[in-house]
Amino acid sequence: MAAKIIQVDPDSLGAELGLKAGDQLISINGHPIKDVIDYMYYEAATELELLLEIDGEEVLIELEKDSEEPLGLDFESYLMDRQRSCKNKCIFCFIDQLPKGLRETLYFKDDDARLSFLMGNYITLTNLSEEDIERIIAMRISPINISVHTTDPTLRVKMMANPQAARINEILHRFYDAGIQMNCQIVLCKGVNDGKHLEKSLTDLAALAPYVQSTSVVPVGLSRHRDGLYPLESFTKEDALEVIQCIDRIGEKQKSRHGVRGCYASDEFYILANLPIPSEEHYDGYPQIENGVGLMRSLEDELRDALFLESGDSKEREIGIVTGVLAAEYMDRLLGMVQEKFIGLRYKIYPIVNHFFGEKITVSGLVTATDILDQLKEEPLPPVLLIPSSMLRAEQDLFLDSISLEEVSSKLDREIRVSMNDGADLLDKILGR
């Protein structure tokens, strides 16, 4: 097996060696290169023997280099291998709740340990072979982000419809023994893995500290496209209070032993429970901010810090804030903070009800262009609208329903600014700079 090179970066070691597109990398120091993890791991050695296929012949190249100096080779695919798909049939899977007609990539369920290490994706461990587990341990691939959901093997098999799900504790303990760092998440389903099951799961994961560095608990997302799927209910205010109290009990115990709470409720639970978002100290450096844990606290504190450096002005500005229902009141508070220094600012919050996925979906990241257009087309809009980057795919050009940002801007005849999850950037976009 060989990895085909499609590009050699200029001024790189690969270019100095005369490597070119079309050459194929077979092995490094005798180790076959099966994927990007092999390549990155073995490339880091200071003495290399590269076995390549060049113009149909095998060529061995020897060189010495600094451990941090890359070869500069790009391959046919990022992983240098096919992406591994999920083999589970989880009762809470959001992809199973998507309507038909979205772009094809949205329906792919990935469960690839390599993407957990490289891009922070969460994996379930159910499709890891023994060779995969041993490689993670031998190469010390860390941290690994793991979708645990429950540490009860029987319940986990039920929730994921995969007998391999029962191995969760075995694999977690093997990683713990090897010193592999882990971040875990629990997608909480009412009446399924909450209550005593949640307490046991958090207790079990806390026992694996410090290598289980953090555990987030997020509520299941329920769209209106659930025909034929497992019956699940939304959490109530009272449910959310119980969840937070459970997490706090375990977190306080863990903090007394290890100096960090280790387990955290997502922002959604605090809003649902009508509780204030905790202080920055609560989140121990925000280890799971990308999972919606402490995101609102971080954004508010960053905005406050950015405002502290401003002298303010009375220039007239008018802007509309397009957001999900969940964050509407929160965004109103943030804009009020800005208005205290920039007294000429006028703003209006536009909470978009999610008809596309269903009204139970209230987060901004699942707001579609279809709903934005339907709900704003008759509104007397200000000249500028601001949306969060989470509404768009990574390239920041398309909404979930494959309608472009440019098309929405054109149909509403308004400038649309995209704000990153950063308080200073939010202020800049509000002020138009």
The domain segmentation of the chain, as residue ranges, is 3-75, 95-292, 300-431
**Domain 95-292: what homologous superfamily?**
pyruvate-formate lyase- activating enzyme (3.80.30.10)
Beta carbons of 142 and 180 less than 8 angstroms apart: yes
What is the value of pTM for the model shown? 0.87
- Rounded Cα distance, 71 and 78, in Å: 15
Residue numbers of the chain with a pLDDT score lower than 50: none
Q: Is the preceding peptide bond at 210 cis, omega within 30 degrees of 0? A: yes
Looking at residue 388, its pLDDT comes to: 96
Beta carbons of 283 and 297 less than 8 angstroms apart: yes
- Rounded Cα distance, 341 and 353, in Å: 31
The CATH code of the domain at 3-75 is 2.30.42.10
- Does the 300-431 domain belong in CATH 1.10.8? no
Residues 6 or more apart whose CB falls under 8 angstroms from that of 231 comprise none
- Rounded Cα distance, 381 and 387, in Å: 14
Radius of gyration of the chain (CA): 24
Where would I find the beta strands (DSSP E) of 108-260? 144-147, 182-188, 212-219
Looking at residue 116, its pLDDT comes to: 67
Dihedral (CA of 133, 135, 138, 140) sign:
negative
Looking at residue 86, its pLDDT comes to: 86
Length of the chain: 433
